Amino acid sequence: MRPDIITLAKPIGGGLPLGAVLMSEAVAENIKPGDHGTTFGGNPVALSVARVMIPIVSDAKFLAGVRRKGELLRKLLGAVKSANIAQIRGKGLWNCVVVKEKSGDIIAALRKNGLLTVRGGAEGVRFLPPLTVSEGEIRKAVAIFRKVMRG
């Protein structure tokens, strides 16, 4: 089954605010100017970056590397032993460690130790590295997480 509409943003702008909407011909035939809008619409700088980024993030070798790094991140997060970890969920490089308490103190401790993460709900610690993250950076991030989770 193919979706009628897909929205995307983060990788195509290479860090600049840029989004895109991909749609089937059936949907496109029924949309008129003014039916949709965006806060991440194109501008000359962001679109110039997209012309470079889209071929990079579409490359099969690059995507295989992203998948491999996502698997490494999930494997290493899964190896962290802590009674406070309830669940690890996500896909690819987007992962959330669900803890058994509010995550704010953990996120603050991670930041104090040099790792920036964000909340994923009240009990989630989200790991959202860039597609260009290195395996070494993944290992370092999880080492900091392991240290904090041991308290």
Domain boundaries, the chain: 5-58, 62-150
Picking from 58, 2, 59, 4, the residue whose alpha carbon sits closest to that of residue 31 is 4
CB within 8 A of 131, min separation 6: which ones? 11, 57, 62, 66, 93
Half-sphere exposure of 91 (CA within 13 A, CB side): 0
Q: For residue range 78-116, list pLDDT tens digits in order.
A: 999 999 999 999 999 999 999 999 999 999 999 999 999
Say what the pLDDT of residue 10 is: 72
Q: For residue range 21-61, list pLDDT tens digits in order.
A: 899 999 999 998 888 777 777 789 989 989 998 899 899 99
Q: Which H or E run contains 85? A: strand 85-91
Say what the pLDDT of residue 151 is: 58
pLDDT band at 7; cut points 50, 70, 90: confident
pLDDT exceeds 90 at position 11? no
This prediction has a pTM of 0.80
CATH architecture of 62-150: Alpha-Beta Complex (3.90)
